[in-house]
A and B are shown apart, each in its own frame.
Chain A
């Protein structure tokens, strides 16, 4: 059921990809966004390790931003 819902969402959003939307932030205006300090994951190894520590010490899990299927801790 969840997979079906997600597939439907993907289908709708993918169909939007062809729409001719005028980007409100032009490519030449994206210099600051491309600065490495704006990356959500500038240091993947160190950040995924810290998520790992939090997963081991906390009941909450998921939606950390990177990929993965939870901690697997028991």
Chain B
């Protein structure tokens, strides 16, 4: 019997891993460092883990290059998988490289990322240019990236489709006072192509089925444009500690509006320890064409039952600790740090039902999801 696999949003793509800090103060190259991280996501029947290695090296006074190797090893028995398909395991490998160039008060960045898995390939190029203004108290950075993806379906050699993605961003960072930094960021992303999941289904009322419902393939529009605007603030307290705040507003052409807000606190202890605490709240409404249970087969042109397109809110509580090592006897290294960061995530879905529970159709309990997210990494500075 053919085993139907289902892949869903938990394919953790990381197109955006250039990870260059938003320039604050004078235009400067990112510091030379190398990071080796082990990451783990465990929640909702999905486990994703793997390494991430980032190395950054400076050449002369004005050139810096970085390379990142990243792996997601995915084992999925998520709610979609257990209700409509079979658990699966898969690996995704991502490689990226970027170059930063400093010219006077300007900084340029050029990057490339390639991601590969059995049924999805993604290539992205990125370019940004930043400029310090107004006595180096302000930095403005413009960015553009373009992604070209190929979507395939395992077990179906005839299926192949494409996605292209253009992103424009504008970021402003500002020294407000001797204690306060502020950053404003806007990004618009336009996708075109096969944007749904080739494995996922929606359900509809079907009196002829023993369960009262049946499944059909989801159908998304072939275009999507989104806009996001975020504001972030960091404040140095009178003693050595920092408060941070963030808010983001998001809207897209699928009818989704989302808000998230985050508060953070960073507290060094002695010369070696740094502790971080954070809380983040996120909420969104559903896409126009989302339904947990459609009234009949092919009831409308576009159909989605992806819980990430439903209406829900989530909470994330984070804790981090870092221990810095520094020895005079070290010849090649300036310092090193050992870091552990943990987040507890909780998602509360408002119109996505847990159909693994046996209840009358449309009366199943609403789905909830909690996840543990861990990062353990060693950073060395040279």
Query: Which A residues are closer than 8 A to B by beta carbons?
Result: 2-3, 6, 9-10, 13-14, 16-17, 19, 21-25, 29-30, 32-35, 37-74
Interface pair B19/A74, CB less than 8 Å apart? no
Instruction: List 13 extra interface pairs beyond A60-B258, A74-B195, CB under 8 A.
Output: A10-B131, A21-B135, A45-B377, A49-B37, A50-B318, A57-B347, A62-B226, A63-B229, A65-B22, A65-B185, A69-B147, A72-B15, A74-B196
B222 to chain A, nearest CB (A): 12
A37 to B175, CA, bound (A): 15
Question: Which residue of the partner chain B has the closest CB to A20?
Answer: B135
Most B CB atoms within 10 A — which of A9, A29, A46, A59?
A59
Q: Give 14 CB contacts A-B under 8 Å.
A: A33-B236, A44-B19, A48-B19, A49-B52, A50-B318, A52-B17, A57-B347, A62-B250, A63-B250, A65-B171, A65-B183, A66-B21, A67-B18, A69-B124
Listed from nearest, the 6 A-B pairs whose CB atoms lie closest are A68-B16, A23-B135, A69-B145, A62-B187, A69-B167, A44-B19
A66 touches B134 (CB 8 A): no
Decide if B230 touches A52 in the complex (CB within 8 Å). no
List, in ascending order, chain B residues with CB within 8 A of A56's CB: 9-13, 308
Give A18's nearest chain B residue, CB to CB: B133
Say yes or no: A70-B189 contact (C-beta < 8 A), given A3-B144, A32-B236.
Answer: yes
Contact with A along B241-254 (1 / 0, CB 8 A): 11000001010101
Q: A63 is contacted by which of B21, B134, B185, B197 (Cβ under 8 Å)? A: B185
State in angstroms the CA–CA spacing of A32 and B179 once bound together: 6
Q: Are B25 and A34 in contact, with the CB atoms below 8 A?
A: yes
- Pick the contact of A66: B20, B137, B339 (CB < 8 A): B20
Cross-chain contact A72 with B128 (CB below 8 angstroms): no
**Which A residues are in CB contact (< 8 Å) with B373?**
50, 53
Chain B's closest residue to A35 (CB) is B236
Q: Are B20 and A60 in contact (CB under 8 A)?
A: no
Are the C-beta atoms of B20 and A67 separated by less than 8 Å?
yes
Known: A33-B175, A58-B258. Contact between A40 and B196, CB under 8 A? Answer: no
Q: Which residues of B contact A19 (CB under 8 A)?
A: 134
B137 touches A24 (CB 8 A): yes
Those of B186-231 within 8 Å (CB) of chain A: 186-189, 191, 194-197, 226-230
B256 to chain A: which residues have CB within 8 Å?
59-60
User: Shortest distance in angstroms between A2's beta carbon and chain B's nearest beta carbon?
Assistant: 5
Q: Given A16-B133, A46-B341 in contact, is the A59-B309 Cβ separation under 8 Å? A: yes
